[in-house]
Chain A
Amino acid sequence: MTVAISVQNLKFRYPDGKEALRGISFEIADKECVGLVGPNGSGKSTLLLHLNGLLPESLPKSPDVMIYGRALGRETATEIRRDVGLLFQDPDDQLFCPTVYEDVAFGPQQFGLSEQKLKVAVMKALEVTALAGHEHRSPHHLSSGEKRRVCLAGVLACEPRVLALDEPTSNLDPRGKRNLIQTLKSIPSTKIIATHDLEMVVELCSRTIILDQGTIVADGPTHSLLGDEQLMLSHGLEKPHILRHLHPH
């Protein structure tokens, strides 16, 4: 088994003194899809930012995050960012270019792809996210669902081995959500999805990690964790409807 993400005793305190992560350890295997759930402020987004080396602001000398066997430190951060594609919560933060094409091309461009290869990569990403033909639109003319898809295309164009998604279905209508889930299903890379959308977790993730107040309170198969009403309620969550109607045979 190849280990994609390995986190050892990760701690983080925000400058204002808030302790966001209090010693987190877990491993995620190659091609695994893991749901990261927990109440607001439990540290989900903070954790994802760590996987990309965006936090802490000065990377530690003794790294606590390993991506495909490489320790995430000052020297490796740039390369590791290529391996880990991060989808941000607010699409407007992530879409900073004047047109869809330029935005999707931004990542690969930073990695120095040739004009020819760049175009192929962008077109492929737009194809996967059903955005072909929208290349020349401006982000401020897109709907929320389209914005989200452009963000995903921008991440996919970098061909990351790990996808770290922060609330990918928030603000989406049911159809947008369905399409997104289908798209994610079709992408074979390792995935870690921070979300409140438990139905999506049931559908996409075989394993779930529950985070509360900066610690991992449970880590195991999605069905047994999310199906445990007591556990869910005690951490500000609830048993998803889908599981209420699933009976063991």
Chain B
Amino acid sequence: MRHDFLDRYSRLGSPIHRLPTALKLLATFSLILATVAVPFSSLWFFVVAAGLLLIVAAVSAIPWLFIFKRLLLLEPLALGIAVMALFQPNGTTIFLSIVTRSTLCLFTVILLSNTTPFENLLRALGRVGAPRILVTILALMYRYLFVLIDEGERITRARMSRTFSTNRVRRWQALASLIGQLFVRSTERAERIYAAMTARGWK
């Protein structure tokens, strides 16, 4: 099975894709930092940032619809927090501030992850001096996310082939046991991966 929903467009050949990874990483970090730190009263900054991101998106040739859908998928998390701000005094401004900032940050990260293959990002992170253990964890996470999804799909399919009722309670029960099973299988796999790493000299 192929999974590319995470970084489907990361291997296109646009000028943005061809930029050095370290540069993109640096730009992303600075932009996010600035987006979070600049006071909301300096509206011009957010307009410029948004304009910049839109230009990058246009040059990178990633479909707009894809970016929009991805934003829609991730936004609710930030929105949840923003809505809480509405109940404070001066809530509307805080609400708008949070929504703007989070949207810009998400937009930035979506662009980065879809213009740079993940393994290049990892390598750049390592070179910039990110802790080795962190890079290793990220690499393993990216690698096994797909294996885990495959495993989940296989379990679901096997269950579906023997599911004959449409009872909703049953279905929730099945889901709970699926999650449990995935967890157990993952721990077992983690042990085997560790053995495989040790077998090739990992200390």
Q: Which residues of A contact B (CB under 8 A)?
A: 49, 52, 54, 78, 81-82, 85-86, 88, 90, 92-99, 102, 106-107, 110-111, 138-141, 154-155, 158
**When chains A and B are docked, how far (Å) is the Cα of A94 from the Cα of B202?**
12
The 8 closest A-B pairs by CB, nearest first: A110-B201, A98-B119, A107-B200, A140-B146, A93-B192, A94-B196, A86-B199, A54-B195
**Interfacial chain A residues near B197, Cβ < 8 Å:** 96, 106
Q: How many residues of chain B get a CB closer than 8 Å to chain A's CBs?
A: 24
Sample 14 A-B pairs with CB under 8 A, ordered by A number: A49-B195, A54-B199, A81-B201, A82-B201, A88-B192, A93-B192, A93-B195, A93-B196, A96-B143, A98-B118, A98-B143, A110-B200, A140-B146, A140-B147
Assuming the contacts A98-B118, A140-B143, asked whether A93 and B189 have C-beta atoms less than 8 A apart, the reply is yes
Q: Does B139 contact A (CB under 8 A)?
A: yes
Assess whether B200 is in contact with A154, with CB atoms less than 8 Å apart: yes
**Interfacial chain A residues near B143, Cβ < 8 Å:** 95-98, 139-140
Assess whether B203 is in contact with A78, with CB atoms less than 8 Å apart: yes
Closest partner residue, chain A, to B188 (CB atom): A93
Distance from B194 Cβ to chain A, minimum over Cβ atoms (Å): 9
Q: Could you say which of A94, A106, A140 contacts B3, with CB atoms under 8 Å apart? A: A140
Assess whether B147 is in contact with A107, with CB atoms less than 8 Å apart: no
**When chains A and B are docked, how far (Å) is the Cα of A218 from the Cα of B159?**
41
Q: Does B122 contact A (CB under 8 A)?
A: yes
Assess whether B202 is in contact with A110, with CB atoms less than 8 Å apart: yes
